[in-house]
């Protein structure tokens, strides 16, 4: 009896969002009960924020065209890690010296957001992220053009 009632509720897809929201709420409560979670000090991808830098919030340390030490999970897979850590073009380097807003400009366009993921050692992530964006654009443009 109760099962048929539950299955009737689940079978209506208008209730789906409510069901998922309920599951999320239950998990959120559980999550709060599990707090505090331990923070591992030994972070593979550390991040420091320097608000005085003109490249803030894009600045991740290191100086352009010089080698920097970056943390790598598998050093043997990325033999040239560190050489491209400050991957500014000469133009954006000059821009960052002229104005205090170069960092916010980079962050304000989509490529900058994608680059928030570490660049050299996690290249596949960057590729998959842009793929998701492209798929979303493809669906959106197809639906838009279908209407005309």
- Position 49 contacts another protein (CB under 8 A): no
Residue among 17, 75, 6 nearest 44 (CA):
75
Which range in 84-92, 98-106, 107-115, 129-137 contacts another protein by CB under 8 A?
Answer: 129-137
Structure tokens at 121: 């050692």
Per-residue x/- marks for another protein, 13-42, CB under 8 A?
xxxxx-xxx-xx--x--xx--x--xxxxxx
Closer CB to another protein, 80 or 91, in the complex: 80
Residues 61-120 that bind another protein (CB under 8 A): 72-74, 77-78, 81, 120
Closest approach, Cβ 101 to another protein, in A, equals 28
Structure tokens at 17: 């969002």
Question: How many other C-beta atoms can be found within 10 angstroms of the C-beta atom of residue 2?
Answer: 6
Question: Count residues contacting another protein (CB under 8 A)?
Answer: 49
Among 4, 11, 52, 89, binds another protein (CB under 8 A): 11
From residue 109, alpha-carbon distances to 9, 44, 80, 121, 142 in Å are 43, 27, 27, 22, 23
Instruction: Mark out the alpha helices in the chain (DSSP H runs).
Output: 2-11, 16-34, 90-98, 102-108, 110-114, 123-147
Question: How many other C-beta atoms can be found within 10 angstroms of the C-beta atom of residue 13?
Answer: 8
Residues forming contacts to another protein in the complex (CB under 8 A) are: 10-17, 19-21, 23-24, 27, 30-31, 34, 37-45, 72-74, 77-78, 81, 120-125, 128-129, 131-132, 135-136, 138-139, 142-143, 146
């Amino acid at each position: 009896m109760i099962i048929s009632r539950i299955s009737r509720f689940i079978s209506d897809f208008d209730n789906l969002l409510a069901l998922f929201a309920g599951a999320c709420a239950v998990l959120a409560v559980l999550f709060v009960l599990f707090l505090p979670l331990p923070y591992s000090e030994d972070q593979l991808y550390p991040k420091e924020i320097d608000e005085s830098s003109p490249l803030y919030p894009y600045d991740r340390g290191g100086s352009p065209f010089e080698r920097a030490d970056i943390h790598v999970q598998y050093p043997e897979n990325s033999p040239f890690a560190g050489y491209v850590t400050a991957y500014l073009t000469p133009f954006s380097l000059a821009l960052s010296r002229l104005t205090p807003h170069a960092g916010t400009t980079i962050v304000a366009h989509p490529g900058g957001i994608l680059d928030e993921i570490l660049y050299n050692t996690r290249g596949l992530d960057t590729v998959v992220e842009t793929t998701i964006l492209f798929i979303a654009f493809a669906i959106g443009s197809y639906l838009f053009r279908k209407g005309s």
